[in-house]
Each structure stands twice: as C-alpha cells, then as structure tokens.
A and B are shown apart, each in its own frame.
Chain A
Amino acid sequence: MSKSKQEPVVLSEYEARKTAVVLARNWAALFLLFLIVVFSFSGGAGFFSATNLQNVLHLSTTFLILAAAQTFVIISGGIDLSIGFVMGLSSVSAAKIMQILHAGDNPVGMTILIGMFVGLVVAVPPGLVSGILIAKYKVPPFIATLGMWGITNGITLHICEGFPVGFLPQLVTKIGNGFLFFILPGKESWMLIRPDGLSGEEIRSLTRIIPSSTIFVVVLLLILWHILHNTKFGQHNYAIGGNEDAALRSGIHVRRHLIIVYTLSSFLAGIAGVFNVFQTGIGNFTPFTAMYELYAVAAVVIGGASLSGGSGRIFGSVIGVMLIATLENGLSISGVAPFYRFIAVGLILILAVTIDQLFPKLISRRAAA
C-alpha cells in the first residue's frame, strides 16, 4: 500500500482503474448479456425467441422470490437454509387443502383462496421460530435454519406421504400459467386466462404475450426493492448487517428486526410455494437434491452480496437468478447434457466470489491514489 502512495498516479491509469471497478461491479449483468449473445448463436431461434425468453422468465419465478428472500437475510448478516423446504411445505399444504375442498365440491374460487391462505400461513411459523432462536437465543443462523431445514422437510413429507398432491381444480394451472394477452392472430384476443374450446391448431398458433407470473413477480420485487431501499426497515437491515453492535448502539431494535427478517424470508418462501402450486397444478415437496436454498444463496452472491452481511441489492440478486436460469436454459437448448449445468453453476459461483475478492483491492487502490 505504501508503495502506491508514493507513486504519482497518472490520470489515464486512474481512469483505467475506474473502468475496472465499474466492470467488476457489473460483471454479472455483462456476463448475462454475453451468455444471451452466445446462446443466440448456438441455440438460434430456439433460444432467442419471445416464446423461449418468456419461458425462462416464467420458470424462474419461484427462484426469483426465493433469492429476494435470501437477499434480505444475507444483507442482515445471516443465512436462511430453510426456505427451500418451507417452499415445499407451503406448496404441499396449499395443495392438500385445495384437494380436500375440491373433492368436497366446494366453489372453485373459495377452494383456491382458502388453499392460498393456508399455504401462506404455514410459512410464517418456521421463520418466526428461526428468527426468535437467532435473535433472542443467539443460535447461529446456519444452525437454526438448518434445524428448520429438517423440521419443515419432515412435516412436509408427513403431510404428503412422499407423493405430490394432485387432483386440484383446473382453474389453478390456468391462473398460474396465464399470460397478459392471448392473441389468435387476426381473430380474437383474451386476457390472463386461456379460453376453453380451442382446437389444437388454434392453440399452436396462439400468440402469448407477457406471462402473468412475470407481472406478479415484478410487482413483488418492486415492493421488496422499495422496502429495502426507501424505508427505515431496509436501512436498518443494512446497518445490522454492516455492524450489529453499532446498530444496537444507535438505537435499532436489532432483535425485533431480525425476527421480522427471518419471518419475511420464510413468508416469501411461502409465496413461492403457493405459486409453485399454481404453476404446476400439484403440491410438490422439495427433494433433497433440489437445494433451492443453496441456489438462492448462489444467486445472491453472484449478484454482489457478501456473506458477511451489509451489502447486496435486490436487482443484483435478480441478475444472479437470471444468469443461472439463462445458463441452464441456453445449455439445454444448445443440446448440452443436463449435468454440465451443475458444473457450470459451480464454476460461475467461484468466479463471482473471486471477482469480489479482487474488487475491494481495486477500490482501495483508487482511494489511496
């Protein structure tokens, strides 16, 4: 360090460093663009088409919600390993209630609403319990949420007995897989829900524009972004993650805040779980190999957050999710064996953290200059 202080830094060099910093900070977004270009060549119209790109967005909905949840927790300096299984718990509970009500010939609207409500409510206790354990009893977040990992998974498998929960109202998947517009070129158009009674020919030529799921997730993410950036709650979140003692001394109610953060994270996982029912039409338990919670951590870290807390952005996490989702989609469309994607995600994650390791050095040198 002392060496760089003595050497006079030429302006052009300073500019070069500034560019490097900008590149390092936005490498994930640039890499995403790069991937889109590469896959557009290797996958052709199969990849770079409105249908496929909308598909990528539609299929990453739950992943986006989980990553947003994880962003809040990671910024506060913790980690939530339970969200993958909380999502399964909500999905299975919501579906189970819908299944029972549907079998009893209840009105469809009521069936769906009660199912949704139950799915969201069951997601609250796991987060509340981990939050209390972490904030009040000083259990390390890793342990508290790993314990909840086992507990929620066990309860989920108990409810569904190891099988997906099916026989739900047809309307469920129609809502979940709806698009803002369905246009039958030259004839008619519909909004949100695909009409019945179309011939196979007509269904194939149906143009779909903007998945409802994407509208939903964008609204949700905007709300979360607003909370994180423009509210006292969000500022406190960064403060606690940056320095818990300082936050405590400056009068932030750290305990209550942390309990809310873990409850929020769990509740968001519940939203993801309920959405999962709408998307697939069944209640899915989370398999061990899915590791949704770890992929969410990966997306958040790729998005530039630090696991030691205090930094991270919702937008960064979204880029992280889209990077992984695009990679998986692009590789499969380009005909690469599915297992390479595990390796690719691992490598990108290492790349992300390595770049982050180089990044502070770039900044500190600039500061020294």
Chain B
Amino acid sequence: MKNRKKSLAEFFADRWALFFLVAEIVFFAIVSRGFLTPRGIQIIFFFGTSVFLLSVGETFVIITGGIDLSVGFVMGFASIVAAKLIVVFTESGMAPAAAILVGMVLTFIISLLPGLINGSLVAFLKVPPFIATFSMIGISHGVSELLIEGVPAKNLPHLANVIGNGHLFYYARGKGMSIFSRPELERGEHVLELLPNIVIITFILIAVFSFILKRTRYGQHTYAIGGNVDAALRSGINVKRHLVTVYMVSSFFAGAAGVIYMLQYVTGKADAGAALLLDGIAAVVIGGASLYGGKGTIWRTILGALIIATLETGLRIRGVPTFDKYILVGVILIGAVLVDQIIPERVEEE
C-alpha cells in the first residue's frame, strides 16, 4: 500500500507539467470561445515561437549549470541585423528571395558572436555566467540601438511578410490544396490555413537540437558538465571548449528568434525580446530543469513553453489584459519549483 502511494505521488510529481497543460487547455476551451479550433491552436504556436526558441537555447545553458540572461537582447540584435542586411541586399539589386535567404544565413552566423564572447568569458576568464551574460545585454542592446539609430528598420521586401505570416498549406473548398501561396478567393469564401511557416522553421531547428542533446556525444557531454564539472574534466571532456559552444547554441537560438521576429513583424526592434527574460527561463524551469545543472530535456522545456504560450493566447482570446500573464507565469514558475521541492520530501517522509 505504502509503495503504491509513493509511486502515485511520484507519478504526479513527475508529470505535473503535462497535467497542468491539459487542465489549462480544458479550462480555456470552456471559458474562451474559439480557443480549441485549428486556428486557435495555431495561434498558440504562432505567437509562442520566440518563447520556444529562447527556452530551447536556454535549456542547453541551464543543463551545464549556467544561465544566459542576454537571449532577449540578442534576439532584438538579430532582428535588427537581419532586417538591415536584407534591406541592404534588396537595395543593391538582389532578388527578394535571395536577399532574405542570404540575410537570414548571415544573421545566423553573426548571432553566434555574442555566444562566443559569453562562452569565452565564462569558460576562460571564469566570469560568473550571470555577470558575463548581463554585460552582453548591455553590449547587444547598445550595438543594436546604434545600428538602427532609434528608427525601427523598415523597407523590407513584401516577401518577408509573406513568409512570416504565411502558412504551408491552404485549403479552400472547390479549389483544392495549395502550398505556400494563398489561393485567389472571392469575397466571403472560406480558406483553411494550416501550419504557419515560422512554426515549421522553429520546430525543425528544435528537432535538430533535440536530437543533438539526446543522441549525440555532444549532448552527453553537456549533461556530464552540468552534473559534475570535475568528473567531466577528468573523463577527458574539453570542458572549456564545450562551454563556449553551449553559449553559442543559446545565442544561435536567440538569433533564430530574432530572424523569425523580423519575418513575423517585418521590422527589427532592439527591445524585441526585453520582456522574455522571465518567459525564456521560466519555461525551462517549469519543464523541470534545475538551475544547479545536470537536469532538463528539450521535450520538457517545450512543455513549459507551451504552458506559457497557451496561457498567453488563452488570456488574449478572453480579452484579459496581457499584464495578468506576468503574474500567472510568476506564480506558475514558483509553483513549479515548489512541486519539485516539496513532493519528493513528502514521499520520503511517508
């Protein structure tokens, strides 16, 4: 009997995030009209892309026992770099598609730079991650403001908007399925939009890095360093180099979030991700990662990010002021850690 009780408590403690998400969806499905429709669900993912990307990048850093505060501002920096580059390329006569592609690839490469600096400071100069990445907030914020000189980036080609706000499939009755392009419609005709492009890009990136974390030696080393640095060092892992690459992964994801922000809103903004400091870290912690390192998976982080994204969309559909979201995310974040802290203790006591 005792054993069963124990396993039941453990079962719930282990999966509380999943149950919470289900409860949340049921709640909003009842109280918010239009929440549980293909469109409503796609909106959750569409507006959740930045949280997904930032938190997945943050997961790598948190697993190693570090923290990256700079992701929000690196995201803003990347959105500006991408917007600037694409505008420059189009103005120099490149085709919009080529300009966007080249601009995106270059931004991805440039967004590795903040991570390289963060990682080097943390690994080689032994600067605490908190301080190193906070300095990077200042630096990336300053550089992005200098780049745009106070005016939001504009004159992006229309194609950016088409990609950022478009869907992979469109289905209209009588016209069949079309890919990428919205079919020509008469007024009043209904079209079913499926799979927003940016959500697809987001999840391809996440899938790749989820594989890396779970199935490759690189991922195993990441856990090893977070679990016990000394042991990792002794077992021959190049800890310093590894830490540098981990911070680069995090800032790569921040860069991806910036590029997607640019596609979505067709502009670049220095403080695009300023409010995401809470969301990005909260998603990882709600997913059960420990700030002391060694714990956390991408799948659980996605669960945490989904809880936040669902909350945001659900509240928006209900017309509740968005600042209520911050209160609730704060409460859930603290609740998440409390569950992790209290339930195992109770189990032991029993």
Contact = CB atoms under 8 A, between A and B. Distances in A.
Contact of A151 (B130, B132, B271, B330): B330
Given A133-B334, A154-B326, A347 B69 contact: no
Interface in A326-369: 337-347, 349-350, 353-354, 357
B39 to A, nearest CB: 27
A150 interface: yes
Nearest to A82: B330
Interface size class of B (residues with CB under 8 A): 35 or more
- Max chain B C-beta neighbours (<10 A), residue from A147, A288, A343: A147
A144 B334 contact: yes
A162 interface: yes
A342 B323 contact: no
A349 B134 contact: yes
Interface stretch (B141-149, B175-183, B193-201, B234-242): B141-149
A250 to B, nearest CB: 25
Contacts of B327: 150-151, 154-155, 158
A227 interface: no
A138 interface: yes
A217 interface: no
A294 B134 contact: yes
B337 A139 contact: yes
Interface in B91-150: 121, 125-128, 130-132, 134-139, 141-143, 145-146
Interface stretch (B24-32, B259-267, B277-285): B277-285
B138 A343 contact: yes
B127 A158 contact: no
Interface of B is mostly: helix
Contact of B333 (A146, A157, A307, A339): A146
A294 B132 contact: no
A153 interface: yes
Interface string A287-299: 0110100100110
- Max chain A C-beta neighbours (<10 A), residue from B127, B330, B337: B330
A354 B285 CA distance: 29
Contacts of B67: 142
A158 B342 contact: no
Contacts of B69: 294
A150 B291 contact: no
B341 A138 contact: yes
A338 to B, nearest CB: 8
Contacts of A288: 271, 274-275, 277
B324 interface: yes
Interface in B291-350: 291-292, 321, 323-331, 333-334, 337-338, 341-342
A150 B333 contact: yes
Contact of B341 (A137, A151, A153, A343): A137
A216 to B, nearest CB: 29
B335 to A, nearest CB: 8
Nearest to A152: B330
B333 A346 contact: no
Interface of A: 79, 133, 137-140, 142-144, 146-151, 153-155, 157-158, 161-162, 288-289, 291, 294, 297-298, 301, 307-308, 337-347, 349-350, 353-354, 357
Interface of B: 67, 69, 121, 125-128, 130-132, 134-139, 141-143, 145-146, 271, 274-275, 277-278, 281-282, 285, 291-292, 321, 323-331, 333-334, 337-338, 341-342
**6 shortest A-B CB distances, which residue pairs?**
A150-B330, A346-B138, A154-B327, A342-B142, A157-B323, A343-B142
